[in-house]
Amino acid sequence: MTAPTTSPAADTTPSGDTGRSITNTDLALLKNCPLLKEDTFHEWRKYMEMFFTSVGADQILDMLDELDKATDTTQREAVLTKFDAATPTSRTLDRQLSPHIFVKTDPSYHSLYDGLRSGMRCYIAAIRKFQRSTMARRFQAREAFVSVKQKKKESVEDYVKRILDARKVLKGLGVEPDELETKDTVLMGLNKYYRSTRTTILAATVEPDLATIISILSSAVPDSAQNHELDSSDDEGSISGLAAAAGRAGRSGRPGRGDTQGKGKERARSFSPPTSDGFRWCDPTHDSHCHRCGRKGHIAAYCIHDMPQKVRHWVMRRPTVYVSESANAARRHRSRSYSPDSSDSSTSDDDDERVHFMNDAAPTRYRYKKIIA
């Protein structure tokens, strides 16, 4: 009697299921993936898409391709409904995906996956939740799109990619900016080193398309940094900004005191930080106050108020100190030397105040003993 044969257990896995296992190499792609929540969805989705590509989750990738082709929210919902009802082509892989999606979601949103064991359905639930178009999300995405600015050392390619990524976010919400708006955003956000290139593009007789603009910018040579030393947005209050101001003063025929033969720029490079009163030593940008102590109308020639130590040392080493023209005029009228310890009713109040001010700020041995006409 022939023994009964035992038929193999029925295979509940759909045909074509390779039983692909997720490896540590695949998981490494999720190492820096942020937890899914309201403000991280788009970054989270980028990491997840790379993860799905690595593990071979072709069905989810096909769904994403169809979502990208959808032109409005109605079409997008139809795509999600279609794949939500579909049977996973690889049940083994599909079920392995769900716990990884779960652990990369903020705990406050874990309820999205209640009763779901399919990785594809978990991902669909996340898309439905976080890509639903609301006024707040559209506003946030639109603000991010128009606020993209090219960083100082950022390549054109990286800068344009950030704009296109922001545009893709708006597309997911059903409000994708058109090419004209994208071109304007690209040109507006360029840094100062591409201003001449932007001017050339704007002066074109025929308006170029977005691809042409990107190509022109990518092949353009950035302007020299020297052409932008006067840029107040980056250099305001900085040493280079003050040096530029000194250069302007020299070119306009108003060189600084003691500046001859174009040496003003060299001196401008050694400007000191602002004083306690908010003024900056050797600042040539204001004519109405002392460049050193900040007193309006005060002569700055040898004022030592709040003087940097290296400058004070240089001043004190000089054997003779020249004071203002008004003090020299007073000296010629008096026809005698002036000592700060003596009093003279013929000396003007301004001269007395000026000399005493400078003497009070200096050590006794360096007080002003004479005035040279």
CATH of the domain at 179: 1.10.1200.30
Q: How many domains does the chain have?
A: 2
Do 114 and 30 reside in the same domain of the chain? Answer: yes
Do 121 and 214 reside in the same domain of the chain? Answer: no
Say if residue 102's pLDDT is above 90. Answer: yes
Do 84 and 105 reside in the same domain of the chain? Answer: yes
Phi and psi angles of residue 85, each rounded to the nearest 5 degrees, phi first? -90, -10
Residue 265 identity:
K
The answer, as to whether pTM is greater than 0.75, is: no
Do 166 and 81 reside in the same domain of the chain? Answer: no
Residue 230 is assigned to a structural domain of this protein: no
C-beta separation of 192 from 231 below 8 A? yes
Residue 143 is assigned to a structural domain of this protein: yes
Residue 186 is assigned to a structural domain of this protein: yes
Residue 14 is assigned to a structural domain of this protein: no
- 37 Cβ contact list (under 8 Å, min separation 6): 105, 106, 108, 109
DSSP labels, 318-338:
-S-----HHHHHHHHHHTS--
Convert the pLDDT of each residue in 269-288 to its tens digit: 444 555 555 555 555 555 55
Do 102 and 186 reside in the same domain of the chain? Answer: no
| Matching residue, tokens 């003691």 | 258
CA atoms within 13 A on the CB side of 355: 27
Domain ranges, residue 164: 136-225
C-beta separation of 102 from 120 below 8 A? no
Do 143 and 107 reside in the same domain of the chain? Answer: no
Residue 108 is assigned to a structural domain of this protein: yes
C-beta separation of 145 from 185 below 8 A? yes
Write down which residue in 205, 225, 245 finishes a domain.
Answer: 225
Do 28 and 128 reside in the same domain of the chain? Answer: yes
Per DSSP, the chain holds a count of helices (H) and strands (E) of 17, 0
Do 66 and 165 reside in the same domain of the chain? Answer: no
- Give the bridge partners for 105, in sequence order: 36
C-beta separation of 370 from 338 below 8 A? yes
Convert the pLDDT of each residue in 17-50 to its tens digit: 555 788 999 999 999 999 998 778 888 988 999 9
Residue 1 is assigned to a structural domain of this protein: no
Write down which residue in 195, 225, 255 finishes a domain.
Answer: 225
Say if residue 310's pLDDT is above 90. Answer: no
Do 67 and 146 reside in the same domain of the chain? Answer: no
Do 163 and 220 reside in the same domain of the chain? Answer: yes
Convert the pLDDT of each residue in 158-210 to its tens digit: 999 999 988 888 877 778 888 999 999 999 999 999 999 999 999 989 999 99
pLDDT at 274: 59
Do 101 and 116 reside in the same domain of the chain? Answer: yes
CA atoms within 13 A on the CB side of 54: 17
Residue 194 is assigned to a structural domain of this protein: yes
Write down which residue in 172, 198, 225 finishes a domain.
Answer: 225
Tokens matching residue 354: 């000026």
User: 325-340 burial, b if ≥16 CB within 10 A, otherwise e?
Assistant: eebeebbeeeeeebee
Exposed, middle or buried: residue 240 (CB in 10 Å: 0-12, 13-18, 19+)? middle
Residue 76 is assigned to a structural domain of this protein: yes
Do 97 and 182 reside in the same domain of the chain? Answer: no
